Chain A
Amino acid sequence: MNSQTPALEVKGLSVEFPTRKGVLTALSDVSLTVERGEILGVVGESGAGKSMTGMAVLGLLEPPGRIAAGEIRIGGQRTDNLSDAEMETVRGRMVGAIFQDPLTSLNPLFSVGQQLTETIRLHSDRNRAEARAHAIGLLKQVGIPGADERIDHYPHQFSGGMRQRVVIALALAGNPQLIIADEPTTALDVSIQAQITTLLRTLCREHGAGVMLVTHDMGVIAETADRVAVMYAGRVIEVGLVEEVLNKPKHPYTRGLMGSIPALGARVERLTQIDGAMPRLNAIPPGCAFNPRCSEAGARCREVRPALVANARGSVACLVHDGGVA
């Protein structure tokens, strides 16, 4: 893998779920790139398709979900057309996954130490004692106090936030080139959150790993990511440098998203919320998927589907920036 090839390249990815009532399109024409040594933040409302994008990259779509179009390259190697067995090798060798739900990645019947040392030994020629020492080191890095004793505990004996950190340690155990981190810090307090995001940034800088960081927490994005992609109803609607997207959001949805963050200042009676709900997959309106909730929508928005158009500072999919809404 040469240093120029991105850690991850996704082009025109579409994911479908055939159902009794017809085909649901969960992801539509999603394109994104994670350079080596870069952290790409992925944000968007609940159900926007963030986890689905991660799962598709990992080759872990739940049947009957399937990739209907597009290409995925991990470290330059095309992976969307691999068999399950080949994909498992790629995942094992190159990718570390931190899932949104920590319990799904941990086996309740084995101690945390057994699970960590197994992964470490799979990826290196360390013997049992060396693997155990490495595992304790990883637990310390993710901030588990008393790691040398905790290593022998079972998942249910940890607190929610500790379990989440054990999963992070597990994902890092194989020294991956690409890390898919799905809400890695949601259950964590700021101090430990900072420790984890610092750890992710260090891995990027020192090992050249690329990180796709899925989170709804703008604070984490602001402090961790280099670039950010905003998703809505299964599509990427804005991509750009973090400072640009957070401070000068171009897409009306991104602007609404920024307004609903509870500020630390005085308590307001109601938080701003973007009225309405994101459409369900079976009811995505024609034209721009955001048009029923958009205060800037015009007649054209109900007919033309905006494409992601590159500008000097990033890309945005909104007709205001692409020929007007009227």
Chain B
Amino acid sequence: MRSPDNALEVDQLTRVFDVSAPWLNRVIDRKPKRYLRAVQDVTFTVRKGKCLALVGESGCGKSTVARLVTGLYAPSEGAILFAPAQKGANSGKPMEAQMIFQDPHASLNPRWRVGDIIAEPIREFGLRDGNEAIAARVAELLRTVGLSPDDAGRYPHEFSGGQRQRISIARALASEPEFLVCDEPTSALDVSVQAQILNLMRKLQDELGLTYLFISHNLAVVRHMADRIAVMYLGRIVEEAETEALFADPQHPYTQLLLQTIPDVASPNRNRELMGGEPPSPLDPPKGCAFHPRCPLAAERCRTSAPEVRARQGGGTVACHLAP
């Protein structure tokens, strides 16, 4: 590791998916193989006990980074390095990240009772001894996420969408992880429960030193949670900085536009300006800087040469020819 303070170091991470049509169709229609670069040369670090947020528009590669970090996808290129775990049975081995999924439906086994779903990691890691202690821990976790201990006996389909999301949060907390990857953990939750969960996550961070990789499209939530923010565009990180520095002084044109489009309940804007131009397809990424077709500042060289990631004025990194 580059520094003992780092919990996670990600280096030049790339993931390519083969999205070719089935072989036979390809032969008949004479179509070439097609590849989709979901994540490209992504580098970042997360300090112990801190929260790094990934933001960026739908399809830019946030969940793919999350799945790479948690080992659900293998990287096509690049390295992912976790610091040694400090507690539990795994102490000394690399930390294992737990994940809260964007889609709770996909992560909860419909045939299991909620109590068993939450108890599974407790049993697997041997975190409590005996059925009674395990049941007590499950009850405690259910209360923590605003559900009731009685809910342990019910099945996932008997819950509302937001309640299911909380079940998956309880399950992730059950394994007492040191590193938590949260993919849109509160997007299915109403503001009141969202506030409860975000307050809880901050508290766990302070008390247990939990480290987070946090994904959300809600910039207000991100600002509340994150110490640093990495902005992604079409598979790459285009700007990375401390949260307040990024909000105060966004230097990449995409970050600037992103911050302008935040809706505000106090002054709703029914004719919101959409970000100019269409999001590009990762199947045919634009040449040069991937943002150039939509960038208000695009200059000639932006169309031909891709900007390098370099040091950002005021700390962090930025990838834009024209940034200061």
Contacts and interface: CB of A to CB of B under 8 A. Distances in A.
B220 A104 contact: no
B188 interface: yes
A277 interface: yes
A160 interface: yes
Most chain A beta carbons < 10 A, residue from B184, B221, B279, B282: B279
Interface stretch (B1-9, B90-98, B120-128, B265-273): B265-273
B273 to A, nearest CB: 8
A259 to B, nearest CB: 9
Interface string A132-154: 00000000000101100110110
B274 A191 contact: yes
Nearest to A263: B220
A103 B198 contact: no
A51 B278 contact: no
B58 A161 contact: yes
Classify chain B: how many residues form its interface, as a range. Answer: 35 or more
Contact of A149 (B199, B268, B281): B281
B198 A262 contact: yes
A157 B280 CA distance: 17
B7 to A, nearest CB: 22
Interface residues of A, number: 66
Contacts of B58: 159-162, 165, 187-189, 192
A143 B262 CA distance: 18
Nearest to A246: B265
A238 interface: no
B304 interface: no
Nearest to A190: B261
Nearest to B160: A47
A268 B106 CA distance: 33
A223 B274 CA distance: 14
Given A46-B189, A264-B262, 6 more contacts: A149-B34, A158-B59, A161-B58, A223-B263, A223-B270, A267-B223
27 contacts: A44-B190, A46-B161, A46-B190, A47-B159, A47-B163, A62-B157, A101-B105, A146-B281, A150-B281, A160-B58, A160-B102, A160-B103, A183-B161, A186-B184, A187-B217, A189-B58, A190-B263, A191-B57, A216-B188, A216-B194, A219-B264, A220-B263, A222-B265, A257-B192, A261-B191, A262-B221, A271-B199
Closest 10 CB pairs of A and B: A146-B281, A46-B162, A161-B58, A216-B190, A222-B268, A271-B195, A145-B281, A219-B263, A189-B217, A100-B161
